[in-house]
Amino acid sequence: AMAGVVRRLLRRGLAVAAGPPNTRWLREAEEAAPVFQYAGKASQRKDRVFVWGFSYSGALGIPSFVRPDAGWKKPRRIQPTPYRLETEEKISSAACGYGFTLLASNTRDITKVWGMGLNKDSQLGFQRSRRDQTKGYEYVLEPSPIPLPLEKPQQTRILQVSCGRAHSLVLTDSEGVFTMGNNSYGQCGRKVVEDEIYSESHLIHQLKEFDSRVVQVVCGQDHSLFRTKKGTVYACGWGADGQTGLGHYNITSVPTKLHGDIAGVNIIQVSSYGDCCLAVSDEGDVFGWGNSEYLQLASVTETTQVNVPRHLPFKIGKVKEAACGGTGNVVLTEEGNVFVWGYGILGKGPNLMETAVPEMIPPSLFGWSDFSPDIRVAHVRCGLSQFAALTNRGELFVWGKNLRGCLGTGRMEDQYFPWRVTVPGEVVDVACGVDHMVSMVRSFT
């Protein structure tokens, strides 16, 4: 009886038979469907900061890793993969020290530099404690603004920051270099005061007396290097390994010009992180001075400390960029090849642990192949015992000792050859520290 009712309704055209969907109906339904827009034509790529490594010092800038703010969260000692750090402004320069980090932005706003991590030597300036207004924080867990004594705070721009073991340098475009932190070896460029207490100190020193404008500042472990526009290099700080390059092994508390093999040479880049220093000239030559206990300078001398810059006669082509680590060094040539030498995990497998002569890392390890022949390494960076390389496609490769997860590969084992770090974006720059790393990344779309 029900079937009869349905058939009568169908004949009268009152009920619609449910058969296979009509293609014309489907097409019309498709055309009538609403169109969603997720990104307009003028959508910009966003700039982000990713951090990874050891977090208990606060150097990653994420307080919930150290002091969980929700009941279900557990303290995270190590962040093994890149984690996004929210920042208020676009970060143009970052530097990782020994347990602390500095982030700087190119903005004209009053707050230009943020710091997080260890602050026992006021390497992040004075961070007033909220609980007790007279005391300062020893550990800063999230990016906190660093008050710099600028003359024109709304005009000066920060060009670059650099961090050493317990001191930091901030380079501005028109007001010279600001230094803060530990000064027991004169690394802040001011006279050493006996029994000075560095923690909770408000003192930020300003350095202006150079022969021309300073364009790059580099911190070694306990010394500082300044490169000027004219191509000269100044140094101050601890010199027991000759890392100040001034011809003696004493400490220097005032930035002094370097001579030796770099006198008269236009230096376009300097680098240091431990006790060895490298400089690259505009002609592509490499000069080195400082500690040579790990064969870093063994190609020119047998001595383990070199206190005058020496030219390193490598026949590897024109060098574009150099980076120094604690025991190993890496250079990048104009052709895009990466050469490593020194001691430690150098990136050519577990068999190559030390070499005095630069060895090339095969480009196929950086993604170069017949299928993609135009991949080239664009930048090289060094941490204390880690190396990082950035390709022109925005990929980040790391290798070296994986101290407390600082390589960002997600594994805790050491990496003996270059390994890709999965970052959700195109990596623009990376800063390597002892046990953590910070990268500036642009999103894909």
Structure-derived torsion over alpha carbons of residues 7, 8, 13, 17, reported in degrees to the nearest 10? -10
The CB-of-54 to other proteins minimum distance in angstroms stands at 22
Q: Is 373 in the site for other proteins (CB under 8 A)?
A: no
CB of 419 to other proteins, least distance (A): 8
Least distance (Å) from other proteins to the CB of residue 294?
21
72 contributes a contact to other proteins by CB under 8 A: no
Q: 102-141 mask for other proteins (x: CB under 8 A)?
A: ----------------------------------------
Pick the closer one to other proteins by CB: 297 or 421. Answer: 421
Find residue 405's DSSP bridge partners.
none
* Bridging pattern class, strands 113-118 and 286-291: unpaired
Cα angle: 436, vertex 182, 275; to 5 degrees: 60
Pick the binder of other proteins from 24, 371, 373, 374 (CB under 8 A).
371
Q: What φ, ψ does residue 266 adopt, rounded to 5°?
A: -85, 105
Q: Which residues pair with 10 in a beta bridge?
A: none
Residue closer to other proteins (CB basis): 178 or 341: 341
Contact with other proteins (CB under 8 A): which of 33, 133, 134, 209?
A: 33
43 sits near other proteins (criterion: CB under 8 A)? yes
Record the tokens describing residue 182, joined without a space.
């530990």
Measured from the CB atom, the residue of 75 and 362 that comes closer to other proteins is 362
Q: Is residue 22 near other proteins by the rule CB under 8 A?
A: no
Check binding of 56 to other proteins (CB under 8 A): no
Our finding on whether 84 is near other proteins (CB under 8 A) is no
Closest distance of CB 45 from other proteins, Å: 9
Cβ neighbours around 187 below 10 Å, total: 31
Q: Which stretch binds other proteins (CB under 8 A): 29-37, 117-125, 243-251, 254-262?
A: 29-37
At closest approach, how far in Å is the CB of 440 from other proteins? 16
How many CB atoms are located within 10 Å of the residue 355 CB? 17
Answer for which of 30, 209, 302, 374 binds other proteins (CB under 8 A) is: 30
Q: Does 28 bind other proteins (CB under 8 A)?
A: no
Report the Cα 277 to chain-centroid distance in Å: 18
Whole-Å CA distances, 102 to 116, 305, 384: 7, 30, 17
Task: Confirm if 219 and 163 have CB atoms less than 8 A apart.
Answer: yes
**Region near other proteins per CB under 8 A, out of 8-16, 30-38, 93-101, 309-317:** 30-38
**What is the Cα Rg of the chain in Å?**
27
Q: Which of 240, 367, 376, 429 binds other proteins (CB under 8 A)?
A: 367
Helix (H, G, I), strand (E, B) or coil at 122: coil
Counting Cβ atoms within 10 Å, is residue 372 exposed (0-12), middle (13-18) or buried (19+)? exposed
CA dist 35 → 24, 30, 40, 79, 98 (Å): 20, 10, 13, 40, 52
Cβ 402 to other proteins shortest distance, Å: 11
Cβ count near 370 (within 10 Å): 6
Question: Nearest approach, Cβ of 360 to other proteins (angstroms)?
Answer: 11
Number of residues interacting with other proteins: please give it, by CB under 8 A: 38
User: Nearer Cβ to other proteins, position 134 or 372?
Assistant: 372
Contacts of 109 (CB under 8 A, 6+ apart): 89, 154
Q: Which residues contact 143 (CB under 8 A, 6 or more apart)?
A: 61, 85, 87, 103, 114, 115, 116
Closer Cβ to other proteins, 45 or 73, answer by number? 45
Tell me the CA distances in angstroms from 257 to 99, 209, 291, one per residue in order: 30, 11, 19
User: Which residue among 19, 20, 40, 373 contacts other proteins (CB under 8 A)?
Assistant: 40
Shortest Å, Cβ 436 to other proteins: 21
Q: Please identify, using beta-carbon distances, which residue of 72 and 371 lies nearer to other proteins.
A: 371
- Stretch of 133-141, 157-165, 194-202, 361-369 contacting other proteins, by CB under 8 A: 361-369
Nearer Cβ to other proteins (4/373): 373
Residues in CB range of 411: below 8 A, 6 or more apart: 80, 402
Write the binding mask 390 to 429 for other proteins: x where contact by CB under 8 A, - elsewhere: ---xxx-----------------xxxxx-xx-x-x-x---
Site of tokens 């030498």: 341
* Residues of this chain that bind other proteins (CB under 8 A): 29-30, 33-41, 43, 348-351, 362, 364-365, 367, 369, 371-372, 393-395, 413-417, 419-420, 422, 424, 426, 444-445
